[in-house]
Amino acid sequence: MIKKILIIDDSAVARKMLKKSMPKGREYVFEEAVDGKDGVVKFKEFKPDIVFMDLTMPVVDGFKSTSEIMELNENTIIIVMTADIQPKSVATITELGAFTVIKKPARTKLIEEALTAAELKIKKISGAA
């Protein structure tokens, strides 16, 4: 079950919208990071069940931070939420280990579908399926 969610996005508005778009009735604990470098640090400290990642950020972008996080834990589920849905960007981030890519802005139905799929993967990884 997903409890701890790390949101890595340089936009405070996007982070707020994502949290508001989460399925109701679930008690998630959120941690936020303002760029990819901050995100990797918070990933190590917070140990989230799932990560929502933007691609275009200052300091360290979502491509590099996804790569670094996947090196730390290859079973990490990273849901990329970005306006950059060019085929090359989607292919690159998927090759780096992203679980799925969702186009911004956040939409509750798409987020709920991604979380449901992520929970199934978590169960499979943990052997509970």
Q: Which domains does the chain have, with CATH numbers?
A: 4-126 (3.40.50.2300)
Q: Are strands 50-53 and 78-82 parallel, antiparallel or unpaired?
A: parallel
pTM of the entire predicted model? 0.94
Q: Which two tokens stand for residue 118?
A: 């992520």
Q: What is the pLDDT along the chain (129 residues), one digit of tens a residue?
A: 899 999 999 999 999 999 999 988 888 999 999 999 999 999 999 999 999 999 999 999 999 999 999 999 999 999 999 998 899 999 999 999 999 999 998 889 999 999 999 999 988 888 765
- How confident is the model at residue 128, as a pLDDT? 62
Listing DSSP states for 31-84 in one string gives EEESSHHHHHHHHHHH--SEEEE-SS-SSS-HHHHHHHHHHH-TT--EEEEES-
Half-sphere exposure of 119 (CA within 13 A, CB side): 10
